[in-house]
Structure 1
């Protein structure tokens, strides 16, 4: 597999946000950012009570929290324990960054900020490698499990999205939700919320399950964008992804009438600014924390759902090839973590999806270069591609498409189906023939809006990570293209009261 890298918001950004929060309130401050759709309906609780926090110098706080973090990291093993280590480093950074400009300790404190940022980055990596405990039964698909966990958490935090992107890995990496939000806002179409619920290997049957059986009516969006391509609608091949799904414990639970849910919301405002709510960490972790420092202060912690290391294939039926193994590593040359890179020759035979952002999007950094790509990857013709042979547009996948179309009509949710771009190197005679057939069939469909982008960037390799998957530049370009498309019925925002 070609070297892939994707951007990840650095620990610095997250940590330095803490500087803006005061001692007297431990919930997020009231936000009024009209250009940020995620805060449109988010208003934090504010207290009229005066501060009761003990007075402590920022420098002393930074040192105390850093010592606590360093001590806890020596024995941390569970996700909760590493979460607490991360929190302590963030608080240490907050303290050092708050040292006044005219303080004689300022220069030393700034060096400590850089030191603590590096420690925070390491702690976050340790925490992210600890598999999260699912609050629901698994669906035998780690990306589906993690994306569902993130989606439910997203809804709990900001409500259902206005626009939901669905599809396979081509959708997961092919439309940038944040870019789409920004483009729509810039065109005066409102501060819409967009989430990417793409699932690796998802066929039409998988999408039908997601929309019709997995999610409740309250969790559905106002507009659905199904982004994919021909092979997801091929009923001739074996649908291994769906076969795994129907044998999963999660599927059995859903079929019994119980949809996945998250635990009840815990109080997020802590009146005691010197303690962490017991509900957010284990008793063992609490005892370790109390033993590591005399003064323990923290903000109320919200549950952070992480995406684990999972298999990520460019094909649901990959051709045999030498194993391409990947490892998560940090780029050098910068004092703060800015990007994570995937490299070869690491154990696990997997890709890491820790870079999936809060909107469910996986940005790929690499750019497709045919001259080097095929030195490491076989050039498989469409006639021998397991995603195309055997091929049929009639059968289970087409039936699933029709069921989604009918479901969208019943729920009065507009459905837009986008045929995502592929590169010229991908379209040999067999694949081109199927593309034409697919386009002709889709243009005759009712109950949906079909947008054909399949051939718009045939020679624009800078938009691709491989012959059929877009990179983050292509995903941003698709978002811009869709935001300007006249046939998409974007949801109308209600006037703010």
Structure 2
């Protein structure tokens, strides 16, 4: 039996992602099982439609392998849920239908997780960084779906979890800035050198935003320490391809949907011809020879319920996994930092022994990269705002406090030249542990609060969005 381990995800978010990634070309091997264009539209029983969609979803799931395959399965379960939810309150099938909605929702989650695990290919050489690759795919897909963002957030994992783009959109709209698009293109380990690569070499002019918020801290600008993230990037085939003048692109296929559904358009004979295939876990597709979609009964559907031992990846909010990243590139983390519990599980590392601060220097490759970024954005007339994100009192020992002061002075000196704006938030929440996931990373509540705080900053040259 199906063994889902996840709650039902937000349908709106799913719909956006599916709209981007579920284009199923005519050449797909599952096309024979997908819904064909009906010759006419007529009134149909929503219960019968739901059963037919569920049957189609279950059958497709037995065959699915590629991301497009699993996206189509997700679409069918969404359609089945929507149809079953349409069974009216006064319909005698209503109670049974509600139970089926719960069942379909569990199956939807199985398909959703499989679609995530089956990551779409970038059709580009590797960058030696899976999370960066997935963020890049998402960013390019975001542009294809809704257009280039007006505001782009960059930085390391502190930025990835530290500014909620959707909350920032909402806060700016509430202040009369109109409808602005915001995307978080941060990655674990991002430094000035990595951001320089993203902005100057990776993205085209048409993929650059109208405003950049670089959210981070001392680590990203410390030239004294080694830069493993950027070093790994420069040794990758993907980087060499970029240097050669080739930029990543997503497939340009387009798909369309029927304006109305014919629930009987799925060919039972086609399904029957597949019935001897093995599913991935070794089971057989159930024999549906006797199934009559117009007279689908409880017993018949129960016999057709997919039999699977799918092992799903449990969600762990403390891991910076790309699985939980939302449609705007943001990774929301739920837990709240409790020093008593945290230090039972993790060592307390002094700033004296923290590799992010030792050795320490603002003279070197990170500063050179920072200078290139400033010149590049000035030429493109794209404002740059650097945000020093909050830290906890537990994190800010005497060594880190001293380095933070040096960083603040370094930034303020350069910001006075008018090349960028600097907003120092490092010490605003030193005792507000409820905003943090650990001593130096914000949780989703902190990320939302930062979004609201930034939206209220009149010093930031926010672009005007559509009304």
Report TM bin, short chain: 0.7 to 0.9
Deviation at 1:16? 10
What TM-score, normalized by structure 2, do the two folds share?
Answer: 0.80
Deviations 1:228-280 (A, max 9, x none): 000111101110100010011111111011111111141434578559xxxxx
Q: Which residue number in structure 2 is paired with residue 24 of structure 1?
A: none
Deviations 1:123-173 (A, max 9, x none): 212222223322322211111101110000000111111100000000000
Deviation at 1:60? 0.8
Q: 1:16 to 1:107 in 2, by over 3 A?
A: farther
What TM-score, normalized by structure 1, do the two folds share?
Answer: 0.75
Q: Which residue number in structure 1 is paired with residue 391 of structure 2?
A: 422
Q: How does 1:263-282 map to 2 (within 5 A)?
A: 263-270=251-258, 273=261
Instruction: Give the distance between the partners of 1:140 and 1:78, measured in 2 at CA.
Output: 22
- The unaligned stretches of length 5 or more in structure 2 are 1-5, 17-22, 24-37, 264-269, 276-284, 295-311
Q: How does 1:37-52 map to 2 (within 5 A)?
A: 52=40
Q: Which residue number in structure 2 is paired with residue 70 of structure 1?
A: 58
Structure possessing the higher radius of gyration over alpha carbons = 2
Q: Secondary structure of the equivalent of 2:161?
A: helix
Instruction: Give the distance between the partners of 1:432 and 1:78, measured in 2 at CA.
Output: 50
Q: Secondary structure of the equivalent of 1:418?
A: strand
Q: Which residue number in structure 2 is paired with residue 102 of structure 1?
A: 90
1:385 corresponds, among 344, 351, 354, to 354
Instruction: Give the distance between the partners of 1:263 and 1:60, measured in 2 at CA.
Output: 36
Q: Which residue number in structure 1 is paired with residue 401 of structure 2?
A: 432
Instruction: Give the distance between the partners of 1:392 and 1:147, measured in 2 at CA.
Output: 30
Runs of at least 4 residues of structure 1 off by over 6 A? Answer: 15-18, 284-287, 291-296
Instruction: Give the distance between the partners of 2:45 and 2:169, measured in 1 at CA.
Output: 41
Deviations 1:18-47 (A, max 9, x none): 9xxxxxxxx9xxxxxxxxxxxxxxxxxxxx
Deviation at 1:288? 5.2
Q: Which residue number in structure 1 is paired with residue 114 of structure 2?
A: 126
User: 2:245 aligned with 1:257, yes or no?
Assistant: yes
Q: Which residue number in structure 2 is paired with residue 471 of structure 1?
A: 443
1:374 corresponds, among 343, 363, 366, to 343
Q: 1:288 to 1:258 in 2, by over 3 A?
A: farther
Q: Whose helix fraction is larger, Structure 1's or Structure 2's?
A: 2
Q: 1:285 to 1:128 in 2, by over 3 A?
A: farther
Instruction: Give the distance between the partners of 2:243 and 2:13, measured in 1 at CA.
Output: 43
Q: Contact between 2:148 and 2:207, CA under 8 Å: does it hold in 1?
A: yes
Instruction: Give the distance between the partners of 2:336 and 2:147, measured in 1 at CA.
Output: 35
User: 2:85 aligned with 1:85, yes or no?
Assistant: no
Instruction: Give the distance between the partners of 1:63 and 1:466, measured in 2 at CA.
Output: 47
Q: Which residue number in structure 2 is paired with residue 139 of structure 1?
A: 127
Q: Contact between 1:420 and 1:454, CA under 8 Å: does it hold in 2?
A: yes
User: 2:363 aligned with 1:394, yes or no?
Assistant: yes
Q: Contact between 2:324 and 2:332, CA under 8 Å: does it hold in 1?
A: yes
Q: Secondary structure of the equivalent of 2:323?
A: coil
Q: Contact between 2:134 and 2:322, CA under 8 Å: does it hold in 1?
A: no
Deviations 1:77-119 (A, max 9, x none): 4433332322222221122112223222122212211111111
Instruction: Give the distance between the partners of 1:125 and 1:16, measured in 2 at CA.
Output: 12
- 105-114 or 8-17: which moved more? 8-17
Q: Which residue number in structure 1 is paired with residue 35 of structure 2?
A: none
Q: Which residue number in structure 1 is paired with residue 307 of structure 2?
A: none
Q: Contact between 1:12 and 1:117, CA under 8 Å: does it hold in 2?
A: no
1:171 corresponds, among 139, 144, 159, to 159
Q: 1:70 to 1:224 in 2, by over 3 A?
A: same
Q: Secondary structure of the equivalent of 1:354?
A: helix
Q: Contact between 1:15 and 1:94, CA under 8 Å: does it hold in 2?
A: no
2:193 corresponds, among 205, 215, 221, to 205
Aligned length in residues: 406
Q: Secondary structure of the equivalent of 2:213?
A: strand
Deviation at 1:70? 2.7
Q: 1:388 to 1:294 in 2, by over 3 A?
A: farther
Q: Which residue number in structure 1 is paired with residue 303 of structure 2?
A: none
Q: How does 1:142-153 map to 2 (within 5 A)?
A: 142-153=130-141
Deviation at 1:444? 1.1
Deviation at 1:294? 8.3
Instruction: Give the distance between the partners of 2:272 and 2:448, measured in 1 at CA.
Output: 43
Q: Which residue number in structure 1 is paired with residue 454 of structure 2?
A: 482
Q: How does 1:181-200 map to 2 (within 5 A)?
A: 181-200=169-188
Q: Which residue number in structure 2 is paired with residue 358 of structure 1?
A: 327
Instruction: Give the distance between the partners of 1:138 and 1:131, measured in 2 at CA.
Output: 14
Instruction: Give the distance between the partners of 1:67 and 1:56, measured in 2 at CA.
Output: 17
RMSD: 3.1
